[in-house]
Amino acid sequence: MRVTNGMIRQNMMHGLNTNMSKLDTLYNQMNTLKKVSRPSDNPVITGRALKLRVNVLETKQYTSNTKEATSWMETTEAALKNVHTILTDIRTRCVQASTDTLDSADREKILTDISQLWEQLGQEANVTYAGRYVFSGYKTNQPVILKEAQTLKEDITLNADYTLKAGTELKAGTELKEGSILSKGTELTEDIIIAEAGDTLGIGTVLGKGTVLEAGTTLPKGLALKAGTTLSAADAATLGVTSPLTEDFALTQDLVLTGDMTVGNEMTLTEDIVLGGDVKITSGTVLETDVTLLADVTLTADMKIGEDAKAVKGSTLKEASIMPTGSVNPIVFNTEANGKVNINEAQLIEYEIGVGSTISVNTLGVASSMQKIGGDIEELIDALTYAQETGDDTKLNEVFTNKIKDFEESLADISDKMADLGSRTTRLKYTQSRLVDDTTNFTELLSNTEDIDIEETYVEFNAQYMVYQSALQATSKVIMNTLADFLS
Q: Give pLDDT, residue 443.
A: 86
Average per-residue pLDDT for the chain = 85
Residue range 194-209, pLDDT digits in tens: 888 887 888 878 787 7
Q: Is 284 left (phi over 0), alpha (psi -120 to 50) or beta?
A: left
- Span 270-296, average pLDDT: 83
Residue 197, domain member (yes or no): no
pLDDT at 451 over 80: no
Q: Give pLDDT, residue 151.
A: 94
The CA-atom distances, in angstroms, between 120 and each of 85, 108, 449 are 11, 19, 58
For 343-367, the DSSP string reads GGG----EEEEETTEEEE-----HH
Alpha-carbon torsion 320, 321, 324, 327, what sign? negative
Residue predicted with more confidence, 264 or 84: 84
- Span 244-271, average pLDDT: 85
The CA-atom distances, in angstroms, between 232 and each of 215, 219, 266, 268 are 9, 14, 19, 21
pLDDT at 416 over 50: yes
Q: Give pLDDT, residue 206.
A: 79
Helix (H, G, I), strand (E, B) or coil at 430: helix
| Gap between the Cα atoms of 409 and 294, Å rounded | 30
CA nearest 336: which of 125, 147, 129, 127? 125
Kindly report the CATH number assigned to the domain that includes residue 447.
1.20.1330.10
CA nearest 23: which of 448, 469, 447? 469
Residue range 330-382, pLDDT digits in tens: 988 887 544 444 444 568 889 999 888 999 999 888 998 999 999 888 888 88
Q: Which range among 195-204, 380-389, 410-419, 437-446 has the greatest average pLDDT?
A: 410-419
Q: Give pLDDT, residue 1.
A: 66
How large a percentage of the chain has pLDDT more than 90? 32
Spatial neighbors of 365 by CB under 8 A, at least 6 apart, are 336, 339, 340, 341, 413, 417
pLDDT at 484 over 70: no
Residue 374, domain member (yes or no): yes
pLDDT band at 328 (very low <50, low <70, confident <90, very high): very high
pLDDT band at 227 (very low <50, low <70, confident <90, very high): confident
Residue 23, domain member (yes or no): no
Instruction: State how beta strands 322-323 and 150-151 pair.
Output: antiparallel
Q: Name the residue range of residue 120's domain.
A: 35-144+346-451
Alpha helices, DSSP H only, in 98-194?
A: 104-125
Q: Give pLDDT, residue 486.
A: 62
Residue range 46-101, pLDDT digits in tens: 888 888 888 899 999 999 999 999 999 999 999 999 999 999 999 988 888 877 77
Within its chain, how far is the Cα of 332 from the centroid?
6
Domain count, the chain: 1
| Gap between the Cα atoms of 485 and 488, Å rounded | 6
Residue 321, domain member (yes or no): no
- Span 317-331, average pLDDT: 92
Residue predicted with more confidence, 434 or 35: 434
Residue 99, domain member (yes or no): yes
Partners of 311 in the beta sheet?
162
Q: Give pLDDT, residue 429.
A: 93
Neighbours of 347 (CB within 10 A): 17
Question: Helix-strand-coil percent breakdown of the chain, rounded to 5?
Answer: 50, 15, 35
For 228-297, the DSSP string reads T-B--HHHHHHHT--SS-SS-EE-SS-EE-SS-EE-SS-EE-SS-EE-SS-EEE-TT-B-SS-EE-SS-E
Q: Give pLDDT, residue 165.
A: 92
CA nearest 165: which of 56, 304, 11? 304
Q: Give pLDDT, residue 488.
A: 55
Q: Give pLDDT, residue 341.
A: 46
Helix (H, G, I), strand (E, B) or coil at 26: helix
Residue 103, domain member (yes or no): yes
pLDDT at 228 over 70: yes
Residue 409, domain member (yes or no): yes
Give all strands (DSSP E) within 96-238, no chain letters. 128-129, 132-133, 150-151, 156-157, 162-164, 169-170, 175-176, 181-182, 192-195, 200-201, 206-207, 211-213, 218-219, 224-225
Residue predicted with more confidence, 134 or 37: 134
Residue 206, domain member (yes or no): no
Q: Which range among 229-243, 308-322, 457-471 has the greatest average pLDDT?
A: 308-322
Instruction: State how beta strands 211-213 and 261-262 pair.
Output: antiparallel
pLDDT at 481 over 90: no
